[in-house]
Structure formats: C-alpha cells, structure tokens
Structure 1
Amino acid sequence: MTDHSPRLFASADAIRRVGEGLLARTLPRAEWTHEAHLAATTYLVVERPDIDLDAELPEIIRSYNESVGGRNTDSEGYHETITGVFLAAVRAHVVETGERELCARVNALLLSPRGRRDWPLRFYSRERLFSVEARLGFVAPDRT
C-alpha cells in the first residue's frame, strides 16, 4: 500500500462547494483530487438524497470530466468499478458515523483505511481493477 497523507477539509462549506461544483460542473479541474472525490460523494450521500447516486453518479462524473477538458475512454476518465467501490465505502462510513457533522465525517473517512487511494486494491488485483472491463462496467473483486 502507498503512503497516505490526505489533504483534510477545513469546513463543511468547503465540502459543499466541492459537491455543488461537481454537480454544476464549475469545480476547477485542479481541485478534483482523490480527497475531493470522497468529499463530494459523502456530501451527495448525506445532503442530497434527491439524487439517485446508483443511477446518476456515473453521468455526473462523466459530464464533469468532459466539462473540464477530460475524456471518458477505455483508458482515462470515469471508472465504474472504482466509483462503485468508493460509493459503497462512503455509504458504510456514513452509517458508522451517524449524526456527526459533515466535515468531521469527511476528514475521518480520509484518515481511515477506506479513504486510502489504494483501498480498492485490497479487493482487486491491479490487473483486474485497471482493466478496460472494470473501467467500463462494474466487475466483482478477485481477492478475498
């Protein structure tokens, strides 16, 4: 596993800005970090129950990527399996953290094993996780 030194958030408002910037496609590309992915997803799970993330999150991310000049191809951009793994992690974390304030929840997630960039590699071989099949559709883990 890699060294884990996450950039933490200073406030719930900073997290909301990332989440709403994702939705509006106004978040600067340089700010779309791993931490921002998890913060935005936590914000969406906690504060935007009006969005069906299972159905809508893939297009939200794809649209955002394209709005900042990115592409969604077999080798770059949106990754279905990684998104699914981290969405499940965020949902489990939200349940475990109960009624804690948004910033405290996000920072606790970023400091936890689930918040690590390489966390999906606990369940997937590198070859399977970074395959075209896993990028374009959800694939089951190959590690137990």
Structure 2
Amino acid sequence: MTDLPYRPFPDDAAIRRVGEGLLDRTLPRPDWTHEAHLAATLWLARDRRDIDLDAQIATIISRYNAAVGGVNDDSHGYHDTITRAYLAGIRAHLAARDPAEPLVASVDALLASPAGQRDWPLRFYSRARLFSVAARRAFVTPDLAPLPVA
C-alpha cells in the first residue's frame, strides 16, 4: 500500500502494456485510470513518434472507449480540451526531462507533479468553460491562463 496521491507504475513494461492496450483496444476498462491516461499519452509522445498525436489522439481514445463499451457523447467519454491540455503539460514535462531517463521515472515524476493532478486543467480553465459540451467536443482555448508550451 502506498501513501502517494497517485498509483505509481512498477516498471517500463507496465506503461507500455497500457499504451499498447490503448492502441489495440485490449486494455481492460478498469485499467483505464487517470494515471493510465497520462502514462499512455506520455509513452505515445516520447516513444511512438510514428503517431501524430495532434491528428490522432481523439480517434485513438474515442475508438478505445467504444471498444470497451463506453460512449463518446456530450457528457461521457472522450473530452478533447482536457486531453489536449494534458498533452501540452506532458510535452512540457518531457522537454524538461533527460530523454535517456527510464520511462517509469518520467511517468512517475509526471504523476507526482502539478501537471499530473486530476484538477490541473482548472489552473487554465474556469470550471464552466472546461466542462462545457463545446470543450468536450473540440479544443477550446483557456480562459484563465495559457497552457504550457514545450
């Protein structure tokens, strides 16, 4: 048992398993946690440069959600603005890290950082703007502060 406010990953293989399970839509739905979202996205951004995340992240996550019985509608499933806000945070995190660092060290450092917190996007967005249908369906710009730039 850990007293950490997040669930750390045991090793690089566990992170790759989550990322690959997202891509091939085999990750069990209960394993698609907040930590898994961030770990998979960091792995994709760092190690899967063959994937254009700006163009493909919405499709990757939406298809995964549908494959595990979820829906992507105005109140559930894929949320474009939250995803893209975290992607900006992950890219800024990676830009500040040693590229030779083990994957698990980078992911666990992200999860321990402000950018790894569940409420992190609310540093940039008002609650009303972030949780609007428009923000779920497409990226909306922040109304409180600019997102980090890598």
Short-chain TM bin? over 0.9
Structure-2 residue corresponding to 1:23 = 23
Which TM-score applies when normalising by structure 1?
Answer: 0.96
> What does residue range 1-144 of structure 1 map to in structure 2 within 5 Å?
5-99=5-99, 100-144=101-145
> RMSD across aligned C-alpha pairs, in angstroms?
0.8
Which TM-score applies when normalising by structure 2?
Answer: 0.92
Amino acid at match of 1:108: A
Amino acid at match of 2:109: A
Paired residues, what number?
A: 141
Runs of 4+ displaced beyond 2 Å:
none
Amino acid at match of 1:93: H
- SS of corresponding position for 1:97: coil
Tell me how far apart the structure 1 counterparts of residues 67 and 37 of structure 2 sit (CA, whole Å). 16
* 1:46 shift after superposition: 1.0
What is the aligned-residue identity percentage? 61
Tell me how far apart the structure 1 counterparts of residues 6 and 126 of structure 2 sit (CA, whole Å). 23
Q: Which runs of 5+ in 1 are unaligned?
A: none
CA deviation vs aligned residue, 1:67-108 (integer Å, no higher than 9, x gap): 000000011100000000000111111111122110000000
Amino acid at match of 2:85: V
* 1:60 shift after superposition: 0.3
